[in-house]
A and B are shown apart, each in its own frame.
Chain A
Amino acid sequence: MRKKMKRHTNPTRLLLLCHTKSTNENDGSWEGIQGVKMMQQGFISQHVAARALSALVSGNYVQQRLRPAIRPYSSATKEMTVRDALNSALDEEMAADPNVFIMGEEVGEYQGAYKISKGLLDKYGPERVVDTPITEAGFAGIGVGSAYHGLRPVIEFMTFNFSMQAIDHIINSAAKSNYMSAGQINVPIVFRGPNGPAAGVGAQHSQCYSAWYGSVPGLKVLVPYSSEDARGLLKAAIRDPDPVVFLENELLYGESFPISAEALDSNFCLPIGKAKIEREGKDVTITAFSKMVGYALKAAEILEKEEGINAEVINLRSIRPLDRETINASVRKTNRLVTVEEGFPQHGVGAEICASVVEDSFGYLDAGVERIAGADVPTPYAANLERWAFPQIEDIVRAAKRVCYRSLPMAVAVAATA
């Protein structure tokens, strides 16, 4: 039953539409994105791209859409906090598939330690929203065992620091099982929870685990930033047949982001392994994930205003698989790279990005890669020390300037002031 569809000619809106993903592999969203990229790179004209894309998308729409009403796409007017985005994603996935259940500490009667699972106990009952004793190793393993038999658990760690008590199960019995059993047993489990520093919570509650989990084959590691990321990536994670580590950020839970109508659709999923270019630019590429994306965007504004440096900000969205293609394509365009992360610098995400760029796009680099990470210390408690222990907006600005040779390199600057 084909509906009369509005012609979609705006490529940005088309790109958003193409992000809508069903579990059907061949839904053409990749072709759509490629088309837009080609257009952006000038290979095909905007008009051609728009017509091709709209044909693709209309075709997809008829396949994917179950509801008849197709709203005209105006620019996003609704706002949603990340917390609500996660809650709505969990709610919708639990409603759609009775195999999905949530397990963790305080997820039920307490409504979630950070209120992410608010209201779900009342809606789905204690058998599907399971409060556990304080037994990370135990309930992570229980989640894995039930996933072996086809259930889809969402295991919540109150923070990912506590996942260290269960890391044996995340890695040995979840990540490696599909391989060890030669494909007989897959593990459709999601481990989620807040990751990285919060505010004044001390050394044992502030570590970022993206690098640790990002190095394990067999895991998919996702790091949402905005509400749209949170919704789309969590839904994709729950529907994914493999173990997913979903690293949220406590300080982002309360932040509001504009959210588009299609992101509110219950079928909305983002592809796993694809980064998003949050801000286009041509002078320097800044990669970031989670909370640092917000900092990078603000830094980009400052750079634009004060220095006239036009920065491209990439929201990684996915640590494993890392979207090396988007990063390398961006570096080939801008020739300079700054990586930003909150985790410890050694063996961090930035180290991997730098290596990848050096391997694939060495000839395109006009300057050394700048790596901004958290300080190489356990997180201090005092507010000022904590601020110095993590990247701030000024650090990103300074690094971008350094990489653009707009300021003296750090060693010389220090010597000058001595």
Chain B
Amino acid sequence: MAFAGAKIIQPSLPLIHTTTRSPDNTLLSDPSFLSSPFLGSTRTLRLTQSISPAQRRSASPVVAVSDVFKEKKLKSNTNLLLTKEEGLQVYEDMILGRAFEDMCAQMYYRGKMFGFVHLYNGQEAVSSGFIKLLKKEDSVVSTYRDHVHALSKGVPARAVMSELFGKKTGCCRGQGGSMHMFSAEHNVLGGFAFIGEGIPVATGAAFASKYRREVLKEADCDHVTLAFFGDGTCNNGQFFECLNMAALWKLPIIFVVENNLWAIGMSHLRSTSDPEIWKKGPAFGMPGVHVDGMDVLKVREVAKEAIGRARRGEGPTLVECETYRFRGHSLADPDELRDPAEKARYAARDPITALKKYLIESKLANEAELKAIEKKIDEVVEDAVEFADESPAPSRSQLLENVFADPRGFGIGPDGSYRCEDPKFTQGTAQV
């Protein structure tokens, strides 16, 4: 088992962390780090120095590494981590995520969108880094901050925007809303408002994949599941229950922690006894990895390894992506508790700017191509808004639909037949 070869480096970590970071205090200058690169090593990404590798609060990285992977990384020493097409694809996906979320904010303040809306600005590297490596049959389970996960997985921007406007043409016909994005076609299994709720569901999807392969004998079923959730969720019981069962049964799942350091107004450091979430993986028998979530290339490297592990049947991985949300928790959050200096620091590490810089400097793309992509995405988002605006609201008859797959669950009507067979069933007031 790959885990058996793991090395766990324990630094002396103060419990109260300062968030100051100086360029000198980089990981690269720390010898202990260089001797043991972690998955998604920053060593090969020395070029992207603007995303200063010293992501951690502490100096040295504390990770569990598999020896196998370490060797692989040492061999591949190419500068380029992705091809031009991949680079442009990832760039486009991140621009789409950013533009879409910005448009959501605008629409919300204009009253077109309502309720709870949680935006993903700043965290695009995690979504694009992971989801762009998946197949269509792989599943993604997310939290309420799910617009960009749905978009990355392939749900059309029009469908997501309509859903947010509450229109009939939305991906869930307006019945789900911002926090409940489902798409059976693209295997987006939600969209859950309760934090931690998506983790067991994702574990179940991974269980189904394993069941299909081993019990139903579908030999080519190697679908993996990604579960996205935040730092606050990592203190929830369901998280630990699922780490245990996923490792116990070696399920093809990757637990992706989007550690943006804040759960609404509760700082991760104030609420967690040991803030290093990746450490919780080895405690349950799976590798735990920490990666810079503001750097899409690093995330991609880690994701490749983790997804590969899961596909080969080697079991789950816990990946902690240190990232940041540029906006508040939701559009209703005044966001007063976060230090503006901290926000500025992370804004300087904007993943999109970083990727753009990398693409240009490694000659994978030029300004014009990237500008063209940005323009194209602007048009896509505008078109999505227009489409959503013009779409009709759900009709009254839709109210009672879709409660059951077999709607005889509405019971017997006064005439003795099933209520749902009455042609007037969904008209008028709901008299069930």
Instruction: List the B side residues contacting A360 at CB < 8 Å.
Output: 414
* Given known A220-B409, A325-B413, contact A179–B200 (CB-CB < 8 A): no
Complex Cα gap A138–B409 (Å):
27
Name the distance in Å between B12's Cβ and chain A's nearest Cβ: 34
* Given known A135-B245, A272-B409, A324-B412, contact A181–B190 (CB-CB < 8 A): yes
Segment at the interface with B among A53-61, A141-149, A299-307? A141-149
Q: Is A241 an interface residue (CB 8 A)?
A: yes
Q: Is A10 an interface residue (CB 8 A)?
A: no
Instruction: List the A side residues contacting B201 at CB < 8 Å.
Output: 141-142, 144-145, 148, 169, 173
Does A185 lie within 8 Å of B244, measured CB to CB? no
Q: Closest residue to B179 on the A side, CB-wise? A: A180
Does B216 lie within 8 Å of A141, measured CB to CB? no
Interface residues on A, range: 35 or more
Interface string of B385-425 (1 = CB under 8 A from A): 00000000000000001111110111111101110000000
Complex Cα gap A182–B174 (Å):
8
Does B405 lie within 8 Å of A151, measured CB to CB? no
CB within 8 Å of A: which B144-202 residues: 171-177, 180, 182-185, 189-194, 197, 199-202
Does A272 lie within 8 Å of B405, measured CB to CB? no
Q: Closest residue to A181 on the B side, CB-wise? A: B182
Complex Cα gap A169–B417 (Å):
32
Instruction: List the A side residues contacting B199 at CB < 8 Å.
Output: 141
Question: How many residues of B are in contact with the other chain, CB < 8 A?
Answer: 61
Does A98 lie within 8 Å of B200, measured CB to CB? no
Does A322 lie within 8 Å of B403, measured CB to CB? no
Q: Is B238 an interface residue (CB 8 A)?
A: yes
Complex Cα gap A187–B240 (Å):
24
Q: Is A133 an interface residue (CB 8 A)?
A: yes
Instruction: List the A side residues contacting B171 at CB < 8 Å.
Output: 182
Complex Cα gap A354–B135 (Å):
54
One of A148, A168, A242, A274 near B404 (C-beta < 8 A): A242
Does A184 lie within 8 Å of B182, measured CB to CB? yes
* Given known A138-B242, A242-B404, contact A273–B205 (CB-CB < 8 A): no
CB within 8 Å of B: which A178-208 residues: 178-186, 188
Q: Closest residue to A275 on the B side, CB-wise? A: B412
Complex Cα gap A179–B225 (Å):
23
Name the distance in Å between B394's Cβ and chain A's nearest Cβ: 9
Instruction: List the B side residues contacting A148 at CB < 8 Å.
Output: 189, 201, 204-205, 208
Q: Is A108 an interface residue (CB 8 A)?
A: no
Q: Is B58 an interface residue (CB 8 A)?
A: no
Q: Is A172 an interface residue (CB 8 A)?
A: yes
Q: Is B100 an interface residue (CB 8 A)?
A: no
One of B139, B193, B241, B416 near A138 (C-beta < 8 A): B241
Instruction: List the A side residues contacting B203 at CB < 8 Å.
Output: 138, 141-142, 145
Name the distance in Å between B176's Cβ and chain A's nearest Cβ: 4
Q: Is A265 an interface residue (CB 8 A)?
A: no
Instruction: List the B side residues contacting A180 at CB < 8 Å.
Output: 172, 175-177, 180, 182, 190-191
Q: Is B60 an interface residue (CB 8 A)?
A: no
Instruction: List the B side residues contacting A253 at CB < 8 Å.
Output: none
Instruction: List the A side residues contacting B418 at CB < 8 Å.
Output: 30, 273
Q: Is A394 an interface residue (CB 8 A)?
A: no
Name the distance in Å between B410's Cβ and chain A's nearest Cβ: 6
Complex Cα gap A233–B407 (Å):
17
Does A181 lie within 8 Å of B412, measured CB to CB? no
Name the distance in Å between B167's Cβ and chain A's nearest Cβ: 12
Name the distance in Å between A309's Cβ and chain B's nearest Cβ: 28
Complex Cα gap A172–B417 (Å):
30
Does A101 lie within 8 Å of B244, measured CB to CB? no
Does A242 lie within 8 Å of B406, measured CB to CB? yes
Does B184 lie within 8 Å of A181, measured CB to CB? yes
Complex Cα gap A242–B212 (Å):
21
* Given known A133-B245, A325-B416, contact A181–B204 (CB-CB < 8 A): no
Instruction: List the A side residues contacting B205 at CB < 8 Å.
Output: 145-146, 148-149
One of A34, A185, A273, A324 near B189 (C-beta < 8 A): A185
One of B141, B204, B402, B408 near A146 (C-beta < 8 A): B204
Complex Cα gap A322–B189 (Å):
31
Q: Identify the 10 closest CB pairs spanning chains A and B, nearest first.
A: A145-B204, A141-B200, A321-B411, A138-B241, A181-B182, A186-B405, A182-B173, A145-B201, A241-B405, A149-B208
On A, residues with C-beta under 8 Å from B are 30, 34, 37, 98-99, 101, 125, 127-128, 132-133, 135, 137-151, 168-169, 172-173, 177-186, 188, 217-218, 220, 240-242, 271-274, 320-326, 360
